[in-house]
Structure 1
């Protein structure tokens, strides 16, 4: 693939991820009925749930900006890891959160090839 194709793919994946997480954060911040029901099921009060939405949107903004993309990545990875644990703790399905986490990692590897090379060194790829 050409560099331009890789760059465009990275930004398309970033846009998809951005839309998903923006929708999630907006639902938390505005206390949408669905989000509120989930907060109650998890035993989280509304102020805390709104604060979680603010953290989510700030992490997403850091991720989208190329210069702060790596710190944003680390924050989103931690955020989604916490979401997975919370869902597991309350016997809720985790497929959606795990899918978003996988999409995040795929996006990161495309957008930040140096990280992909650290995770999957060239000598290990040849052995697969």
Structure 2
């Protein structure tokens, strides 16, 4: 097992793979946050189905939180904090879907899939995270 230090460079392929994965997640979350800010009818209907009520203010608050966490994730100096906050946010989405009995693979685990992409993209592009978790190398 090799140790990764902060001096160890990230290969070009890993860096660009991480940027692409993080970029896809970021684009999806910006879209998700934006449709909650409007808020579109489908957003308020879904909130009502999940048990939060068809509230425009709740949708806007969730949209603002999504966008704030995503901006923190996309900005390299704060990407680790953004990833932690997005993990909590996505965990709440998972819990909400479990509570109402949503389908497992398409709804409940979607937050897990997205969270794995968040951390995978960060791990590929950030040697500081690799130094923190060298056993994953």
Q: Given the two structures, how large is their TM-score scaled by the length of structure 2?
A: 0.79
| Residues 59 and 72 in structure 1, CA contact (< 8 A), matched pair in contact too | yes
Distance between the aligned counterparts of 1:38 and 1:99, measured in 2? 20
Larger mean Cα displacement after TM superposition, 102-111 or 72-81? 102-111
1:21: which partner in 2?
A: 29
Distance between the aligned counterparts of 2:15 and 2:119, measured in 1? 15
- The alignment's C-alpha RMSD in Å is 2.0
1:87 equivalent among 94, 97, 108 = 97
Query: Is there any run of 5+ residues in structure 1 with no aligned partner, and where?
Result: none
Matched, 1:118 2:128: no
1:31: which partner in 2?
A: 39
Structure with greater contact order relative to length (CA < 8 Å, sep ≥ 6): 2
Matched, 1:108 2:122: yes
Q: Which has the higher helix share?
A: 1
2:5: which partner in 1?
A: none
Corresponding residue SS for 1:31: coil
Distance between the aligned counterparts of 2:126 and 2:20, measured in 1? 14
1:71: which partner in 2?
A: 81
Q: Given the two structures, how large is their TM-score scaled by the length of structure 1?
A: 0.84
Corresponding residue SS for 1:40: helix
| Residues 19 and 125 in structure 2, CA contact (< 8 A), matched pair in contact too | yes
| Residues 94 and 109 in structure 2, CA contact (< 8 A), matched pair in contact too | no
2:112: which partner in 1?
A: 98
Give the number of equivalent residue pairs: 123
Distance between the aligned counterparts of 2:58 and 2:35, measured in 1? 13
* Aligned-pair CA distance for 1:120: 4.8
